[in-house]
Chains A and B, each alone.
Chain A
Amino acid sequence: MTAGSGPPSGDGLVWRTATELARLLASGELSSVELTGALIERSDAVDPGINAYLHRTDELALEAAGAADARRSRGEAASPFDGVPVAYKDIFVTRGVPTTCGSKILEGWVPPYDATVVERCHGAGLPMLGKTNLDQFAMGSSTENSGFFPSRNPWDTGRVPGGSSGGSAAAVAAGAVPWAWGTDTGGSVRQPGGLCGLVGAKPTYGRISRYGMIAFASSLDQASPLTRSVEDAAALMAIAAGHDPCDSTSIPSPAENYLDGIDGGIEGLRFGIIKEFTGEGSQPGVRARVDDAYTRLEKLGATLQEVSMPSFQHGIPAYYLIAPAEASSNLARFDGVRYGSRVAGDTNIVTMNSMTRDEGFGAEVKRRIMIGTYALSAGFYDAYYGKAQRVRTLIIQDLRRAYESVDLIVCPTSPTTAFKLGERTDDPLAMYLSDVYTVPFNLSGNPAVSVPCGLSSDDGLPVGLQIVAKTLDEKTMFRAAYAFEKDLGFAGSPEGRPRL
């Protein structure tokens, strides 16, 4: 029995992909209110164990579901996905719905406007089920830096779901929502995607508007879907992609239909394997799955060749200068003056600012603000921020050179499977190294997707394969990921979902 057949029932429903659910809604076999109700029930059952949500919006979702059903009954569906619920990482601002960015400093803030991503998803008729947990201000790789509580991996609740979009990943992996939005600054969607057995797809920088996405590192942040299938990732990305005049870094060209030709196969595509990423860096179980994946790609008619990226060894250091530098400035506005929490202290403004920030920000946020402030300081700028920007240029050049001879690049998403809660909290460097394979593509701006490539034989946890395309070549990226996903047959199979 495949997941797509048989009459829809509460339990089976929650594992369907958004694409399957859209078909059921279109055929009238299912209403959005029923679906939303089932997901709310599922969330009630599983969320206490995984802590995926910071704020649930059940009533709003049911209201929106009713409206979607009404549209469908009039034959006026807002989009093919009208009525398929979604969740947002709590970094997207939502009008009238509290938005914290995972930090106490924003506790109580209710934004007066919607992020462009949210607005476009509302426009497509997707009911919002809630706001998901994250490492505060998206700084972290495990959600343990959330100002409220850590989320847990549905595959093993003693382990992290990855981060920073861990709440979104946990919710989708646990069947609480068919798909969800995260953001990816250094791997924050691809890594939790990999660790939770999901698809996490980061578009080309500038492809999706950042308007209304609380900035961590402006030159790296991109909204990115977390889904159960490649098709869903392509569809959700397409809903939000395209030029937005409110974001100056938004690419002016119209977005493509990523589903168009997604099943075209990979016969003849040339894949580059990064020489510098093929050493001892990964867990054996991860390496084995990824090597299997390479073999599978060849079996599907692709060719593999080694490409060298000498600049990638500087990726992590460069990232951990650029991202904190931008963050140190982006986070300056959280000062207790206009919104969020305020710790008054004694009577003067400087003390109020300091105490508010001291109590409101977590340790990792403070660490990065300190690093970033230092990197931008007079006398150090050239040695740190300036040099990191030069590394960034080198990374872009290395990739450009590689793409002269290959169509796609392929590598692991993360060197390890999901680690245990608390395992890396006292070792920031070990935590930072979770992003070693993902960070270079934020620095370069290339689109990259993590697609499940099975379970590690070490611990039975999911492993992600990362496929990276040329700038604005999301279509080829999705086509390759789709072919791989179909051939592997992991997604949608009982093996592909956690026992929760």
Chain B
Amino acid sequence: MSTAPSRVIETTIGLEIHVELATSSKMFCGCEVAFAGEPNTRTCPVCLGLPGSLPVVNERALEHTIRIARALNCDVASHSFFARKNYFYPDMPKNYQISQYERPLGAGGVLEITGDFPTRRVGITRVHLEEDTGGSLHVGGSGRIADSEYSLEDFNRAGTPLVEIVTEPDIKSADEARAFVTELRAIVEALGVSDVRMEEGSLRVDANISVRNAGETEHGAKVEVKNMNSIRSVGRALEYEEGRQRAALISGDMPVQETRHFDEKAGTTSPMRTKEYAFDYRYFPDPDLVPFEPSDTWIASIERAMPELPVHKRSRLAEQYGLRPADIGILTTSTAIAEWFEEAASAYDGPAQKVANWIIADLFGLCNEAGIPLTECKISPRQLAGLVRLVDSGSISGKQAKQVLGGMFATGDDAALIAEKEGLEQLSDAGELSSVVDEVIAENPDAADKVRAGQMNTVGFLVGRVMRKTKGQANPKLVTDLLTQKLAP
């Protein structure tokens, strides 16, 4: 009797990420950079590629790219230049894209990612700067250009500075890919160089994924996965694709090299129309632009002005506030959240973990329901600290505090004001409570006897009765103390 040996299959993933820079003007002209808007209103002869027009480099975009490159531990090229990438597409005004080919601004970097997997060092092949294309709306047919009746072109986005980040094929699972994109997004956001909104396309992720039997030296056929519009989609698409390819490998029906489109609703990938021929982009140095040489002093001054990166923030938060690692991860997904937390923590003199708990366990839920980010909620960090202090002082119970938080979220008022308005002050007067406790003992003689006999777990039952009588306003700790005193054997 023989069984097939269990096969170990390895997954290999490399990512190609595009980040739209949030500069005030476009890459090569003075037009404003913004999202959406009336079509073709933010254009000029340069970004429309009109005959005779010439590009002029936006220095700020170079600076932003160097920031990203350094944050990803890349070397910054001492001599770099723009190249033309030649291909025809109607949303590309010049039918070439000004990009970089040889000597990208950044190369040879590494980003370490952590999660429910061994810490992974992902190599960063290159970080380069290019211009974005316009946008097409294909009308009629399937919505793709090939069978549409006609297409509408909007060049508002054309010429927006775009940073391309390419990783080495060092990522081994969908989980790791998700963690990589999460970390990269946090870094770029912290650097303040992009909105990094995947849903608006200011952060775009394409993946190359292949599988092979463990021990093989050659990679399997590479499949490019497109249309992943959120970090969650990156995970879902790659999980699906990994499973599909593994099944194919096992059944002997080897995966083929192709580009596949992720269907958000179905959670599956399907082949895109395959290219009939390999593109030859005929890269050559753009003669309209002069090569540039970022000086060491310039790079150093850019580095000095760089904000704290997520990795450093995480270790500082751990050290400074003693937070749980999982909570640190959550609080550092964006600079704004971390800042919000730190402001609340500094307004509170107890353990910062308590503040973190309130943010993570309660406030995030309220924000999610309302569909707003933390920074846009009506509660200020200082007010949250006030709420935690109110609980500490025993004025309100933890349960009441959740109700107070809801009120604060709706109105933006202080915790104390809400508690007072809603009559949620906690009953902490021993004299007043004592008579209620006596009533409860009288009404529940059996339970009282059990406590007297040493069955302390019955105390809780009596506490509950007191709470009910006081409509939840009694300080439960005080009630427990009174009961144990009065029912002492």
Contact = CB atoms under 8 A, between A and B. Distances in A.
Given A326-B287, A376-B86, A213 B52 contact: yes
Contact of A112 (B45, B149, B287): B45
B139 to A, nearest CB: 12
Contact of A211 (B54, B57, B84, B94): B54
B399 interface: no
Contacts of B390: none
Given A329-B84, A329-B282, A338-B93, A115 B52 contact: yes
B92 to A, nearest CB: 9
A433 to B, nearest CB: 25
Contact of A101 (B51, B94, B145): B51
A218 B282 contact: no
Interface of A: 92-93, 99, 101, 106, 109, 111-113, 115, 210-215, 217-219, 245-249, 325-326, 328-329, 332-335, 337-339, 347-350, 353, 373, 376-378, 381, 385
Contacts of A376: 86, 282-284
A373 to B, nearest CB: 7
A333 B52 contact: no
B280 A378 contact: yes
B93 A333 contact: yes
Contacts of B54: 210-211, 246-248
Contacts of B52: 92-93, 111, 113, 115, 211-215
Contact of A113 (B50, B86, B145): B50
A329 B86 contact: yes
B212 to A, nearest CB: 28
Given A111-B50, A214-B51, A339-B50, A325 B284 contact: yes
A377 B280 contact: yes
Bin the interface of chain B by size: 20 to 34
B290 A335 contact: no
Interface of B: 45, 48-57, 84, 86, 88, 90, 93-96, 145-146, 149, 151, 153, 280, 282-284, 287-290
Given A333-B93, A378-B282, A212 B53 contact: yes
A95 to B, nearest CB: 10
17 contacts: A93-B52, A112-B45, A113-B52, A248-B54, A249-B290, A326-B287, A329-B282, A332-B86, A332-B95, A332-B96, A335-B88, A338-B153, A348-B146, A349-B145, A349-B151, A376-B86, A381-B284
Contacts of B149: 347
Nearest to A386: B284
Nearest to A339: B50
Contacts of A325: 284
Given A93-B51, A248-B289, A333-B49, A385 B284 contact: yes
Nearest to B48: A338
Closest 5 CB pairs of A and B: A332-B95, A218-B287, A376-B282, A219-B287, A212-B52
A353 B151 CA distance: 14
Contacts of A113: 45, 50, 52-53
B289 A211 contact: no
A111 to B, nearest CB: 7
A134 B232 CA distance: 58
